[in-house]
Amino acid sequence: NHRYKSLLMDIAYIKPTVQLREGVVMDDFPGMGLLVNRIEEPDRSSKLNLTAPAQPPDEDSRKPADLFGIVITQTTDAGTRRTIVADSGSIRTELNRTDAVLTLYSGEIQEVDPHRAGQFQRMFFERHRIRLDDVSGVLERGRSRRYRTDRELTMRMLQDRIAGRFVNLDSLQRTAAALADSIPESDSAVVAMRKMFGGAPPSWDKAPQQYPEPDSAGNGRRRLDIDSPRSRLAAVLREASYIQRRISSLQVEWWKKISIPFASIVFVLLGVPLGIISRKGGAGVSIAISMSVFLVYWVLLIAGETLADRHLLSPFWAMWSPNVLFLAVGLWLLLVQIRGRRSLALVSEGLGLRSLLRMAGLAGGNEGKGESP
């Protein structure tokens, strides 16, 4: 799942290969417009793809021009408008196959500063280079997200995260025990702590709202002191409850990676007797039974996952209960089919043997006596 989503995000970053066309203003480059009046290619095409071999960086000699009559308009971050006009130029991709370098020959640069309307700059050049980023449309892997959801984690990653959560839970348990020493044993917070860390299913979601708050001495209204050991214990138990649910969720994903592949064996054992039962009903009945089986399995799987995430069911049984149930049903149906057809199979075997004997003229019994003179 993680590799699939990462590949989709990598593909989303791809830009189509840039094509330069004669007489068309290209706005594929951010903050820049490019116009080429004439393009010379070996195949005499009027289009130029940015897939030419990379130009060595230390080579200063003038290359044969591919582009003629070049006009470039740019707007800088400061708002300065710049126009570049060149007689000719060439464009080559870099060694990384993602960037390109546009080399211009015999031209001039004109700049107009909007903040200084009376000033106009004009510079001439024999050669001028402009770097164009990310123009080749090459698929770059690894630029997408590194975050993985629970379903995208491997079994080893899940084990590591579960172990880390247990370490955090153990630390919270020690903190809660230390805070409980300064709270009366009959307090609801201490009772909730014993239930949570004693193995009983935690019911801490509503517990903080049910706690009696001490009366304030000023206006008689009840107010909870956030620095009291009882309040700190409540916060610790809330965090521990969240970690317990995260552990259950991670354990569900771990068992799911084993139970779902095993379900293929269960479906084979279940499909054999169902196929025998539904063979007289045609393709429609078979498809309906198959869809119903998969739907029931999916509902049981989702229900078990929900109960386990809420810490109401063991993660193991949440993921393996559908397999156990369907395996039991499949074995029972298979047993019924075997017992119901055992006598029929024996009769068929006997009929086949008698046919062979009859063909060989060796049939005995009453038939043999009838044939004797």
Mean pLDDT of all residues belonging to the chain? 71
The model's pLDDT over 198-236, given as tens digits with 9 standing for 90+, comes to 643 333 333 333 334 444 444 444 444 545 777 777 888
First to last CA, the chain: 82
Tell me which amino acid residue 18 is. V
Task: Say what the pLDDT of residue 1 is.
Answer: 58
The DSSP result for 70-91, as a single string, is EEEEEE-TT--EEEEEEEEEEE
DSSP conformational letter for 151: G
Least-confidence region, from 63-67, 121-125, 146-150? 63-67
- CA-CA distance, 229 to 235, in Å (whole number)? 10
DSSP conformational letter for 314: -
Contact between residue 89 and residue 69 where contact means Cβ atoms under 8 Å apart: no
Question: Is a pLDDT exceeding 90 seen at residue 139?
Answer: no
Confidence of residue 295 (pLDDT cuts 50, 70, 90): very high
Confidence of residue 22 (pLDDT cuts 50, 70, 90): confident
- Which comes out higher in pLDDT, residue 258 or 197? 258
- CA-CA distance, 289 to 286, in Å (whole number)? 5
- CA-CA distance, 192 to 32, in Å (whole number)? 66
Residue 200 is encoded by which pair of tokens? 């009983």
* φ, ψ at 132 (rounded to 5°): -115, 120
- CA-CA distance, 260 to 247, in Å (whole number)? 20
Task: Say what the pLDDT of residue 97 is.
Answer: 59
Question: Is a pLDDT exceeding 80 seen at residue 111?
Answer: yes
**pTM tops 0.75, yes or no:** no
